[in-house]
Amino acid sequence: METFSVSSFLFFVFLAALLGFRSTQCTTVTYDKKAILINGQRRILISGSIHYPRSTPEMWDDLMQKAKDGGLDVVDTYVFWNVHEPSPGNYDFEGRYDLVRFIKTAQRVGLYVHLRIGPYVCAEWNFGGFPVWLKYVPGISFRTDNGPFKMAMQGFTQKIVQMMKSEKLFASQGGPIILSQINSCNGFYCDYFSPNKPYKPTLWTEAWSGWFTEFGGPVYGRPVQDLAFAVARFVQKGGSLFNYYMYHGGTNFGRTAGGPFITTSYDYDAPLDEYGMLRQPKYGHLKNLHRAIKLCEHALVSSDPTVTSLGAYEQAHVFSSGPGRCAAFLANYHTNSAATVVFNNMRYALPAWSISILPDCKRVVFNTAQVGVHIAQTQMLPTISKLSWETYNEDTYSLGGSSRMTVAGLLEQINVTRDTSDYLWYMTSVGISSSEAFLRGGQKPTLSVRSAGHAVHVFINGQFSGSAYGSREHPAFTYTGPINLRAGMNKIALLSIAVGLPNVGLHFEKWQTGILGPISISGLNGGKKDLTWQKWSYQVGLKGEAMNLVSPTEATSVDWIKGSLLQGQRPLTWYKVKSLRKVETAYPKMVTLYTRIKFYSLYEYHVPRSWLKPTNNVLVLFEELGGDASKISLMRRSVTGLCGEAVEYHAKNDSYIIESNEELDSLHLQCNPGQVISAIKFASFGTPSGTCGSYQKGTCHAPDSHAIIEKKCIGLKSCSVSTTRDNFGVDPCPNELKQLLVEVDCGITDINGHGS
């Protein structure tokens, strides 16, 4: 994701011209000022970003099918240079990096592809997708008119284009790739964006569905009502392609997260959550939006809108597709107040900050603020009662060895590690005279360490002394703390930690990481002692990394300590549990590593089901600061209940013809595959209030609400209930606008299809 609101350029690559030939099964892709044309037909294209390295190949079929079922036409992905070319000329397109397989999966389910080769991607991805070796090309300057940069960029881009051509994946070859290298508007709202040329269509390449999470920060979400409003407003102003960033965010596996301090989870509050499950009501509400837009497609691409004021904050955008045929978007821009407008001699109620879509200029089929889709309640359910851990501790007393180097002064971290590890040891020795006053009961000396980022753990004579860290906005920091020194030589070991390399910013290739000083000890008899320019030894990575303890085979090559975890709760400890069986559940197809820790931004880690074997699974964790492994458990994520809300679309008014729509006036509930609605926890038609999980009856309540919902829904995978007052026997309050609130449980079905 680019972290700016609007980019002023639109770079079109026409694939037919790029390839120079056409096959007999080719798709022609052109454009005019209204829209992209596919085989000569103007299209409203609905797109969603799914990044192939952030999920597993085994997830791709399911993700693509859900995207297709959700109303998408196009899947959008960046191409991540650093994973494909980790060193110059050495390429990797296996596993999660199998770009060809990803694109063919999209084609198989009937989706087009927008391939954004970059090679800069931002995307909260490590180093913005650039390989670290690129930083060391002589004379290079990233993202500028720079010869070395353009030469390296050209080599990778041509590699990707040639690969796509050889697999016949471009549209002109009969493949699904219809767009490449397009970037226009990125932001939460883009209705005021216009192309840089009058003959180009209006495209929105990144409609942000949520936001990323950083360690120590809040978990952001975006209400689906606001997202739907932003998209509808973009379309009513002539937009013809919009792309959700993200449609499925996924997971920053391994060391791919950028930042610094971007979390492992890249859920992004997307319609498909980190695990690939439907996020309801966001997924369903957007699906209904897409269906409504497609009903208007012919009118939308046939004419520019005629805009009419319906009030101080209300407008109508009308698109004509021929005599007597039109589609209309009725908008209320007030953020707090609902409005009633008259359009074509009919009265329409418009909630605050909403747009109603009328494919025939008469009948409302969708309103952005009226959500008739259920809210899914998910829980982490235990899979294994207890994990039996073994521990291995990093030796902080005898650091160094053949792998270290010694120089005078402090070195920039990435220059030393070349990003092969997040960890770099800075080690030195300090002699302390026996005459120092602090040795006879005085105040302890203070160590001060200035770091460019991102975190540091301090060890004095092998003992942990303290930690400090920066933040995403301010990665540089200073550690200051008392230290225990003894007479004679003392070993100071500073473990510097990189928490994701920067992915955005002016010339971020020149940004620095690690301990650059000054470093000093104060409180000595002679005052302050500067350690910055004395000899420092360096060791890249941890011993456990060098021994590859995360490998199932290598994890058995060291002596792991069994027994009480209390003995293992110390800094820099590896934990291992083996002989795990595969989680026995047909759905959902994911499990989660769950840590019960308060105040952390991230305590759930996605473990893809495809990573697990039927038996003899080995799990290895590394804990920097001595966390309690007994609080770690393996869980499965499941939908356990649903909440639904639906509102009577209009109160009775005999003065005007009242538009009505069964779809808008209905509540829809649907459990996940393998589940049925097993219990009704709450149901009230009238004036109930509250939020999902804490609904309450109001002063107006239809007494048969619970019985009616129970009759229509119990034992079924899905059900729909109309909010018409006739459906509930009596009208409990004839002069009030009523709503229906329902909360149900979803239970697993047995082999006979019965719920539990």
**H/E element holding 545?**
helix 543-546
Res 568: pLDDT:
52
Structure tokens at 212: 């990323």
Nearest in space to 259 (alpha carbons), one of 33, 474, 93: 474
Nearest in space to 359 (alpha carbons), one of 286, 284, 298: 298
Nearest in space to 87 (alpha carbons), one of 506, 545, 419, 375: 419
Residue 628, amino acid = D
DSSP per-residue string spanning 602-665: --EEEEEGGG--SS-EEEEEEEEE---GGGEEEEEEEEEEEEEEEE-S----TTSEEP--TTTT
Res 49: pLDDT:
99
Q: What is the rounded distance in angstroms from the CA atom of residue 159 to the CA atom of residue 523? A: 59
Query: How is domain 395-541 classified at the architecture level of CATH?
Result: Sandwich (2.60)
Res 657: pLDDT:
33
Give the chain's residues under pLDDT 50. 2-24, 584-590, 596-599, 650-662, 751, 756
Res 380: pLDDT:
83
Nearest in space to 344 (alpha carbons), one of 367, 318, 321: 318
Q: Is the dihedral of CA 349, 355, 360, 361 positive or negative?
A: positive
Res 565: pLDDT:
58
SS (H, E, C) 305-367: CEEEECCCCEEEEEEEEECCEEEEEEEECCCCCCEEEEECCEEEEECCCEEEEECCCCCCCEE
Confirm whether 395-541 and 648-756 share one CATH topology.
yes
Length of the chain, please? Answer: 756
β-bridge partners, 327: 319
Q: How many CB atoms lie within 10 A of CB 545?
A: 17
Res 592: pLDDT:
58
Q: What is the rounded distance in angstroms from the CA atom of residue 352 to the CA atom of residue 368? A: 10
Q: What is the rounded distance in angstroms from the CA atom of residue 321 to the CA atom of residue 296? A: 9
Res 650: pLDDT:
40
- CB-side neighbour CA atoms (13 Å) of 17: 7
Q: What is the rounded distance in angstroms from the CA atom of residue 650 to the CA atom of residue 664? A: 10
Peptide bond connecting 614 to the previous residue in cis, omega within 30 degrees of 0 = no
Residue 736, amino acid = E
Residue 215, amino acid = F
Class assignment of domain 15-295?
Answer: alpha beta
Helices (H), 448-489: none
In this structure, whether the domain defined by 648-756 belongs to CATH 2.60.120.740 is answered with: yes
Q: Is the dihedral of CA 365, 366, 367, 371 positive or negative?
A: positive
Question: Could you tell me if 627 and 267 are in contact, meaning their C-beta atoms sit under 8 angstroms apart?
Answer: no
Mean pLDDT for the chain overall: 89
Res 639: pLDDT:
87
Structure tokens at 114: 């927008």
List CB contacts of 627: < 8 A, sequence separation 6 or more.
Answer: 569, 595, 597
Where do the domains of the chain lie?
15-295, 306-369, 380-392+547-637, 395-541, 648-756
The strands making up 366-367's β-sheet, listed across from edge to edge, are: 306-309, 314-322, 325-332, 354-358, 366-367
List CB contacts of 714: < 8 A, sequence separation 6 or more.
Answer: 677, 678, 679, 680
Q: What is the rounded distance in angstroms from the CA atom of residue 100 to the CA atom of residue 93? A: 8
